[in-house]
Structure 1
Amino acid sequence: MDEKSSLGMGHYLAVLRRHWKTVVAAMLIGLLLALAYLLTGGARVTASALVNVNVIVSDPFNPSRPASGLLDTATEGEIASSYVVASEASKEVPGGDSTADLRNNVDVKTGSDGTTALISYSSRTEARAVDGADAMAASYLAYRQDQADARRTTMRNQLEEQLAGLTTSLAAPGADRVTLTNRISNIESEINELNAIDTTGGTVITPAAESPVSTNYTRVLGSGLAGGLVAGVLLAFLSHALRRRVNDGYDVEQAGTGPVLAELVSPEPTLPARGAELDAYRAVRERLFAGRGPVTALAVIDATSGRAFYPVAPNLSVVLAQAGFEVELVLMGTTPEEMELMTEALQLRFGANEGGAEVLVSESVPGLRVVEAVRGTDRDADDYVTDAVRRRFLARKDSLPVVVLALPADAPSASRMAAARLAGAAVLTVEGGRTRREEAEVTATELAGVRAELLGTLLVRGGRRMPRTPRSAEQKARRRAPEPVAS
């Protein structure tokens, strides 16, 4: 199997694995429909009668041609399921199935020797199936005998007419008595041979009452499951083709924004992260360092729906600071509510006003500073990545501190490209079930266009909300800048 085939098979398996609930649901629906069909009259019991078909010949002991060669199996099958046979059979089962039912539900299979036939009949109950199979078998054999008797009678009448004519000619004066006598003798021999022919249609070897019956339960239920499976697979691929949102790591990689650095699934994210999410952020930090060496700048691009606050950039900054780095988190376009949450969670206090930006220092995370950048004006290079942000970034010495540029979910494409180009590397945050795949694909293309390296994606669970507690007056005072003292 070549690489393309492996990738194609992997794609199909991934789609089915993602939509396995759809496939299972379709199979269950198919099974329920099949069960409903059986319960509403679709259940059938099949009984079979085995008959030995008599080959009607003038010399049954003549070995020149086998009996099977004298029977046309297709014709015999048509006769056994004909209206005439079914009509006579219906008279044998008063109160049973109708002529149309008998004809439509009978099946005839001839044996390999051509002289046996298995006549099967299906009905709603076992008794009706047995009666119908036996009646059809008896009617079929009786019809064959009636037809043979009729043909023999016709031939005998013709021979007797010839015999009467020859006898009259023999009594006439001057008749050739020798010739006429020989012809009369031959006709009498033919009549005797006709009278000796066995016109019995055949015999029932095994009546339906003595044969095991079968039902269509397994076949119908199996067909329901198989139909549900096919429908489920088709629905799975249709749903995959129509789905336009990122739901899991497979979608992330298909959008070209992989690999998935972490999946954050806690319904209530915390800042700083705790437990499993803290381990996830630390794993992201190690992957970032393992992939390209020391990280000196990183743009965190928010491609979520913006309905909730996801503290991805702050938590990445925290784990970088915990690794011993001096970290500066530059917040661009952060709302007052989000800023208040971060101030409380990271115990931020006022540090300084530098270049029109307020610098806050974390008392709980040594080495972490937070810069709240002011949104730019029409004269700035960008609404979010302002001239002040660019100057601050370029003024670093020896690539210190490590700068994390955090953009909000509503940042335009130009701001995302500017931040990624300035940092040289970026990570993307997408929201499961809400971020559009098209947006993720466009972002990956835009970053490639400015030669910024997309290191990977963090996939967060949709609808996450950070728990919030009221801030005390002391915390609010710590956040504010000191008032100037009059000289």
Structure 2
Amino acid sequence: MDTQDVETTAGPDLRHYFSVVRSYWRGILAILLAAVLLAFAWTLTQPKIYQASSSGLVTTGGAENVGLASAGDNLAKSKATSYSSIASTRPVAAAVKEELELTTAENQLLNDVTVQVPSDTAEIRVSARSTDPSEAQEIANAWVEVLADEVEKIESAGFEDEAVPSLVRIVPLGRAALPESPISPNTKLALAVGGVAGLAFGLGYALIRQHLDRRIRSVEAVERTGQAVVGTIPADNRLSSGRQVVESGNAKTSDRAAHAFAEALRELRTNLSYMDVDNPPRVIVVTSSVPGEGKSSISANLAVAIAATGRRTVLIDADLRRPVLTDLFHLPAGAGLTDVLSGAADLDDVLMPYTDAPALELLAAGRIPPNPSELLGSKAMKNLLAELSRDAIVLVDAPPLLPVTDAAILAKAADGALITIKAGHTTVDELEKSTSNLTRVGAHILGTILNQVPTTGADSAQYGYYGKYYYYTSSEEKAAKGKKKSAPAPAPTPDVPVADDEFAQAIGAGQPVRHARRPREDVR
């Protein structure tokens, strides 16, 4: 495997971890700050410890020549090592305690005092710690003096004349300095440790949340379930207040949010037309897993986008339990689908045109029946879909798949179904169960639509296309802005996908396509 392959393999993992951090950065930051604050609070509760150091030098008697001086130096270094052990004994601690009249236990004194011999020296260094800086200084000085007395007693032992000085002794090198700042607690070190621990816990929290979070946030998450994504619709602030038709079919717009939303619908429209060029879907059911995923808004705005090409489009409100399309299009509620299916009204009498898109007609739900599933699965419904699809693209706004079976019944009678997924809301389990319901009845799944994709914030990193929009302004256009008079703008070109196949050409010309997705038989 070459270097390029290794980088390609490792790339997605790094991007995955980066996206996890971006998605849960607030939680990571909160845990990090909490850990740092806890570390700082811990330092405030700890007593301040001061340390003072004093030293003594092991010396030997004068030497008459260099050889004796070298031997004496080696002896002093050897003795320093031995005397450091004596300095850590209870007799020395007891003598220091008595001299300074301390109340501290001898064992505690031994724990508070550290004796060291620097490498290859005859120096004995005593470090004393205490909560009182003056006490630490006095203990360090007294410890060296007491050790010197103890060494003198040991070296003088065995001599008959006690007045004769010992050849080896310890000479204090000076008194310890009064410590000005505590050595413990180390605030900087505590904060650093707290920060590292907080960052580690924060990253762990983010990874666990990511692992346990079953919500669908990316196209890759949908594809891992085995379903294709035929469209990604960005979040639009105009839909934040509720369902409404925001697509006008106009390709020219200066509103960036409207441009992104319209472009996404056109891309979805194109994907549907090229899904099967020889046998494109004519009757499409738009549904979702659970309520609140935006299926009605998608079906309404997609119908306007298709009708903008001049192709006759019929939008059917088949959500007989909660019909909303008449409110979306601001059309009067009245007779509709249920009246046609029951024979109470003719189809031509209840089809309502949409003035903003002349090629679009709406078939409202009509009166809410007591048995929606039986009515939608009837022969009359199948005949109605077959009749409408002869010269029109039929979009059916169906109920969600999980609460009721209406959508599955409709999808079996149609050319296929589109499942709407709300980014960051729909779970993998809900999507898998929805697709299982459609597969169980033999319905064809055209794909999924990832709806309300965030364009800003942490989650937008996973959907980079809609995070930025491309606009081009030539230098001539910029210069023309300063002029009072400008040339009249050219007429807008129709928003027609360029293609050589019969389906795309028929859409552009506004002519019906004579072939259906599969042969239909009139059910009598």
Q: Give TM-score scaled by structure 1 length.
A: 0.67
State the AA in 2 paired with 1:457: L
Of 263, 268, 273, 1:288 maps to: 268
Is residue 207 of structure 1 aligned with residue 176 of structure 2? Answer: yes
Residue 32 of structure 1 is matched in structure 2 by: 37
Of 347, 362, 365, 2:357 maps to: 365
Residue 483 of structure 1 is matched in structure 2 by: none
* Separation in structure 1 between the aligned mates of residue 435 and residue 56 of structure 2, nearest angstrom: 78
Is residue 303 of structure 1 aligned with residue 289 of structure 2? Answer: yes
Of 78, 88, 101, 1:70 maps to: 78
Residue 218 of structure 1 is matched in structure 2 by: 188
Contact 1:330–1:403 (Cα < 8 Å) also in 2? yes
* Separation in structure 2 between the aligned mates of residue 422 and residue 82 of structure 1, nearest angstrom: 96
* Separation in structure 1 between the aligned mates of residue 258 and residue 383 of structure 2, nearest angstrom: 32
Distance 1:355 1:222, change over 3 A: same
- Shift, 1:451, TM fit: 5.6
For residues 77-476 of structure 1, the aligned pairs below 5 Å read 103-104=110-111, 110-116=117-123, 128-129=132-133, 131-156=134-159, 160=160, 195-200=165-170, 202-204=172-174, 207-209=176-178, 216-246=186-216, 261-264=232-235, 266=237, 267-273=240-246, 278-291=258-271, 293-294=273-274, 296-297=281-282, 298-306=284-292, 311-335=297-321, 338-344=324-330, 356=342, 359-372=351-364, 384=376, 387-395=379-387, 400-411=391-402, 416=407, 426-431=417-422, 434-443=425-434, 452-459=445-452
- Shift, 1:327, TM fit: 1.7
State the AA in 2 paired with 1:12: Y
Of 51, 54, 57, 2:58 maps to: 54
More divergent stretch after superposition (57-66 vs 258-267):
57-66
* Separation in structure 1 between the aligned mates of residue 258 and residue 429 of structure 2, nearest angstrom: 30
Structure 1: any 5+ residue segments left out of the alignment? Answer: 161-187, 462-487
Question: What's the CA shift string for 1:226-245, capped at 9, x where partnerless?
Answer: 22112212222222233333
Question: What's the CA shift string for 1:411-465, capped at 9, x where partnerless?
Answer: 568655565566556543334554333112444566688663425411379xxxx
* Separation in structure 2 between the aligned mates of residue 423 and residue 115 of structure 1, nearest angstrom: 98
Residue 482 of structure 2 is matched in structure 1 by: none
State the AA in 2 paired with 1:219: L
SS at match of 1:61: helix
* Separation in structure 1 between the aligned mates of residue 202 and residue 30 of structure 2, nearest angstrom: 7
Residue 17 of structure 1 is matched in structure 2 by: 22
Aligned-residue CA RMSD (Å):
4.6
Of 8, 12, 16, 1:7 maps to: 12
Contact 2:117–2:124 (Cα < 8 Å) also in 1? yes
- Shift, 1:314, TM fit: 1.2
- Shift, 1:261, TM fit: 0.4
Distance 1:293 1:333, change over 3 A: closer
State the AA in 2 paired with 1:288: L
Contact 1:86–1:103 (Cα < 8 Å) also in 2? yes
Distance 1:121 1:15, change over 3 A: farther
Contact 1:351–1:360 (Cα < 8 Å) also in 2? no
Aligned residues: 418
- Shift, 1:253, TM fit: 6.1
Distance 1:369 1:30, change over 3 A: same
Identity, in percent, stands at 18
Contact 1:53–1:117 (Cα < 8 Å) also in 2? yes
* Separation in structure 2 between the aligned mates of residue 413 and residue 2 of structure 1, nearest angstrom: 47
* Separation in structure 2 between the aligned mates of residue 250 and residue 68 of structure 1, nearest angstrom: 75
Structure 2: any 5+ residue segments left out of the alignment? Answer: 1-5, 248-254, 275-279, 455-524
* Separation in structure 2 between the aligned mates of residue 408 and residue 10 of structure 1, nearest angstrom: 37
* Separation in structure 2 between the aligned mates of residue 74 and residue 224 of structure 1, nearest angstrom: 41
Distance 1:342 1:288, change over 3 A: closer
Distance 1:416 1:27, change over 3 A: same
Q: Give TM-score scaled by structure 2 length.
A: 0.63
- Shift, 1:200, TM fit: 1.5
State the AA in 2 paired with 1:203: L
Contact 1:34–1:220 (Cα < 8 Å) also in 2? yes
Bigger radius of gyration, 1 or 2? 1
Distance 1:314 1:87, change over 3 A: farther
Contact 1:244–1:437 (Cα < 8 Å) also in 2? yes
SS at match of 1:54: strand
* Separation in structure 2 between the aligned mates of residue 255 and residue 434 of structure 1, nearest angstrom: 16
* Separation in structure 1 between the aligned mates of residue 83 and residue 387 of structure 2, nearest angstrom: 100
- Shift, 1:25, TM fit: 0.3
State the AA in 1 paired with 2:308: Q
SS at match of 2:262: helix
SS at match of 2:241: coil
State the AA in 2 paired with 1:27: L
Residue 177 of structure 1 is matched in structure 2 by: none
More divergent stretch after superposition (265-274 vs 101-110):
101-110
* Separation in structure 2 between the aligned mates of residue 330 and residue 31 of structure 1, nearest angstrom: 59
Contact 1:426–1:452 (Cα < 8 Å) also in 2? yes
- Shift, 1:198, TM fit: 3.1
* Separation in structure 2 between the aligned mates of residue 74 and residue 287 of structure 1, nearest angstrom: 87
More divergent stretch after superposition (237-246 vs 273-282):
273-282
SS at match of 1:367: strand
Contact 1:264–1:280 (Cα < 8 Å) also in 2? no
Question: What's the CA shift string for 1:360-417, capped at 9, x where partnerless?
Answer: 332333211223468999998x77565444434444667x422223222255686555
Distance 1:140 1:311, change over 3 A: same
Question: What's the CA shift string for 1:57-76, capped at 9, x where partnerless?
Answer: 99883348746862686994
SS at match of 1:300: strand
* Separation in structure 1 between the aligned mates of residue 270 and residue 126 of structure 2, nearest angstrom: 76
Question: What's the CA shift string for 1:42-90, capped at 9, x where partnerless?
Answer: 26455442525426799883348746862686994x7666666566556
SS at match of 2:351: strand
Contact 2:375–2:381 (Cα < 8 Å) also in 1? no
